[in-house]
Chains A and B, each alone.
Chain A
Amino acid sequence: MARSWAELLGDDETAEAREEERRGFFGRLRESLSKSRRALGDQLAAVAFDPGDSESWERLEEALLMADVGVPATVELIRRLEARADLSDFNEALAEEIAGLMGEPPVLNVHHSPAVILVVGVNGTGKTTTIGKLARKLHEHGRKVTLGAGDTFRAAAEEQLEIWAERANATFVGGERGADPAAIAYDAIQAGGDVILIDTAGRLHTQTNLMDELAKVRRVIAGKLEGAPHETILVVDSTTGQNGLQQARLFSQAAPITGIALTKLDGSAKGGIAVAISHELGIPVKLVGVGEGIDDLRPFDADDFARALVSS
């Protein structure tokens, strides 16, 4: 049972029904196909596991490592599973443990008006695209959305966000190439709306000056509106390896991260680094990206995620 948008946004379910309608026949068909693919993987894993057999445990360890969960979180998961008395429904147990590591079902904090969401991450992870998709979902759920083009560095970053703003029916606030991103964030909040999404330039967490710049963007947002930013989302590419941990650590220092958006889960990468991040830093995953289209964003669902993680 996947988590719904209404649950993620803390809304009542009526808007959800509208969404269902709008998604239409092909959307549902696509979804059900991808679900059946997953179910197959589940079965494979279920048949394979025998708690009494050390090879089964090895295979599990390998599956987790191959999913980029990393050594420490893998060791922890296996320790927890071994400690369980009953492993008759192994997949269930595994899903529970993974979900346990990943914390409570997340809620996106958009109940202030305006609510400000700052979106950050290393280069090319999917920040701008995720903003476009999220803007659309928020729009469908009755929010007036404003997008602030805080990436003033990369070629055509602003144009890219502007196209997404059009697609999502959002107000667009831009600036000049090379402009101060903090000033654009300020202008975007000034422009108003129920939810303000601020895009930022991709930056490697090792670039001190750029991390300082990010901290400043955050400070300016906080100065402009009390309690803002209400969410600071770190966008992590699900193909990322162990470096993801370092990304989460250092971005958190510049701008405390309230949630992760795990993108490109439509590929064959499992995104296990998110488990490591949740486990070590306690940052929850809130959103998952499953494609390049405007509807390809989902609320994070730990159960689904866990099952896909160890399926082949």
Chain B
Amino acid sequence: MFDSLSDKLGAVLGDLRGRGRLDDEAISGAMREVRLALLEADVNLEVVRGFVERVRERALGAEVLKSLTPGQQVVKIVHDELTDLMGSESAGLKRTGFSVILLAGLQGSGKTTTAGKLARALKAEGRTVALIPADLQRPAAIDQLEQLGASIDVPVYRTDTKDPVRAATEGRERAKADGCDTVIVDTAGRLQIDEELMGELVRVRDAVRPTDIVLVLDAMLGQEAVNVAKAFQERVDFDGVILTKLDGDARGGAALSVRSITGKPIFYASTGEKLDALEVFHPDRMASRILGMGDVLTLIERAEQAASEDEQAQMEERLRKGQFTFDDFLSAQRMLRRMGPLQGILKMLPGVGSQLADADIDENKMKRVEAMVLSMTPRERSMPHTIDGKRRQRIARGSGVSVQDVNQLLEGRKVMEKMMKQVGKGKMPSLPGMPKMPGGGMPGMPGMPPQQTVAPRSTAPGAAGRKHGKKKSGRR
């Protein structure tokens, strides 16, 4: 959506040279596109309205008038506003002498899993952590927490009772008596309109006196996010949010809605089912994600995880030499596969996402390309310039495609190599239709994994302290 937002804004706002003024009509058209893009990303309609108003005001200002490419300028305003809204401060859980963290949220949002994740993270900080199950409702909820606790060697204090308030208080007291300095209370999922259960949550809160109340929210939430956040804020006044299931491709507009309605910070991003999948929340990345502009930094991290150290070293070597052979192509392709479905990956690329948003990407086409490469001899793969007409015919026959297809592939490789050369020399290959964003552009050729060319990780905002590579393909 976004890249098309960028394109659409370009089209609506047009070329201002010789005009020098944005008229109302142009601005309204642009704001319509912004509105649609945000709705598509599940930002709440009411939030969208206020947001679009602010963007309109800024767009009417001087910056856009002076700009030769007002479309991109508006995109930048939208992105800046979003980032501002998402919050720049990196808020986190309080670390007090005795910390009590209370987790609450809708059914299935990820509370119990998050309890395990927080326990793991806080334990790693050297704290003595306990888990308290106060979900006496869902079948096997306590078993679930106990199994999670056992897997990270964190004790779970269960109390045999039907009263969640008692379960929470007794668990807390026993954990404290045993010398724990951090207790994490897992509660049952509840609908914000369920008076009885919301009342129960208030009683649990009053009984355990949390240092932090965390609202656990599913990133796939739609318009309802606002109602949920409002109600939980009114009833228990939570301190922050943990956004879960961000490993998927939800645009996560809910994050924006909740931020702007409650003003509460987002503490962490939860990005997987395993207990180590808890990440620092990056407002700027979230802004890009909501706009669908590609989440380059996340993409790089994923690529890093998918690539073995050998492969990374190899890639760097290629980059240095400015080479790109079909052997490189094959290993890149394999790596790409490990990173998840092509569609999801391409969507993270600025300048690529939109065209593919609805048209299904043809994984078969990828396979066809792979078949062509596999029909080459090893020599041909490592020395593509030796592939003459006759060889092209043979490759086409061997992979069941036309000679034109083979020609196209060979051309594509040349372009890629040229790009690699630029990158190797430290230049950023520019992408059409992309505003300059922090983090720069990237070679947006499908079929190629990103290289370490964009914003070296060490300088990426907030990237410090995150775990590196070596995670086997990043999943289960």
Contact = CB atoms under 8 A, between A and B. Distances in A.
B107 A264 contact: yes
Given A155-B148, A207-B475, A241-B250, A267 B341 contact: no
Contacts of A125: 108
Interface residues of B, number: 53
A124 B108 contact: yes
A35 interface: no
Interface stretch (B12-20, B38-46, B71-79, B385-393): B38-46
Contacts of B218: 124, 237, 239
B119 interface: no
A153 interface: yes
A123 B108 contact: yes
A154 B112 CA distance: 11
Nearest to B46: A66
Contacts of B228: 239
Q: Bin the interface of chain A by size.
A: 35 or more
Nearest to A211: B341
A contact patch SS = loop
B250 A126 contact: no
Interface string B171-201: 0000000000000000000011100000000
A123 B277 CA distance: 15
A303 interface: no
Contacts of A211: 341
A156 B140 contact: yes
A222 interface: no
A281 to B, nearest CB: 12
B224 A269 contact: yes
A202 B245 CA distance: 11
Contacts of B220: 122, 237, 240-241, 243-244
A206 B106 contact: no
B185 to A, nearest CB: 18
B42 A241 contact: yes
A156 B144 contact: yes
A123 B476 contact: no
A126 B108 contact: yes
A266 interface: yes
Contact of A155 (B106, B147, B227): B147
B35 to A, nearest CB: 10
A67 B223 contact: yes
A123 B45 contact: no
Central interface residue in A70, A126, A246, A250, by most chain B CB within 10 Å: A246
Central interface residue in B139, B225, B249, by most chain A CB within 10 Å: B139
Interface stretch (A91-99, A159-167, A188-196): A159-167
A147 to B, nearest CB: 13
A66 B250 contact: no
A208 B137 contact: no
A272 B223 CA distance: 10
Contacts of A249: 360
B contact patch SS = loop
Contact of B143 (A71, A122, A159, A202): A159
A164 B248 contact: no
Given A68-B224, A206-B344, A239-B222, A163 B140 contact: yes
A43 interface: no
Nearest to A158: B140
A242 interface: yes
Central interface residue in A71, A132, A272, by most chain B CB within 10 Å: A71
A54 interface: no
Contact of A207 (B109, B192, B340): B340
Interface string B331-352: 0000001001100100000000
A36 interface: no
Nearest to B148: A155
B22 interface: no
B139 A163 contact: yes
Given A160-B139, A241-B221, A266-B191, A65 B39 contact: yes
Contacts of B107: 124, 126, 264, 292
Contact of B247 (A126, A163, A204, A268): A204
Interface string B119-144: 00000000000000000011111011
Nearest to B43: A241
Contact of A123 (B148, B227, B273): B273
A156 B135 CA distance: 14
B242 to A, nearest CB: 14
Contacts of A156: 140-141, 143-144, 146-147
A190 to B, nearest CB: 25
B110 interface: yes
Contact of B248 (A67, A154, A205, A273): A205
Interface in B80-110: 106-110
A129 B446 CA distance: 41
B273 A208 contact: no
B56 interface: no
B475 A242 contact: no
Nearest to B476: A153
Given A125-B108, A268-B227, A292 B137 contact: yes
B253 interface: yes
Given A155-B145, A243-B42, 4 more contacts: A122-B248, A123-B273, A239-B228, A267-B106
Interface of B: 36, 39-42, 44-45, 106-110, 137-141, 143-148, 151, 191-193, 218, 220-225, 227-228, 245, 247-251, 253-254, 273, 337, 340-341, 344, 360, 473, 475-476
27 contacts: A65-B39, A65-B223, A66-B44, A66-B45, A68-B223, A122-B220, A122-B245, A123-B245, A124-B108, A124-B110, A155-B145, A155-B148, A159-B139, A159-B140, A160-B140, A163-B140, A206-B340, A208-B337, A210-B475, A237-B108, A237-B220, A239-B106, A240-B221, A241-B225, A241-B253, A264-B107, A268-B192
List 3 tightest A-B contacts by C-beta distance, closest first: A241-B222, A124-B108, A241-B42
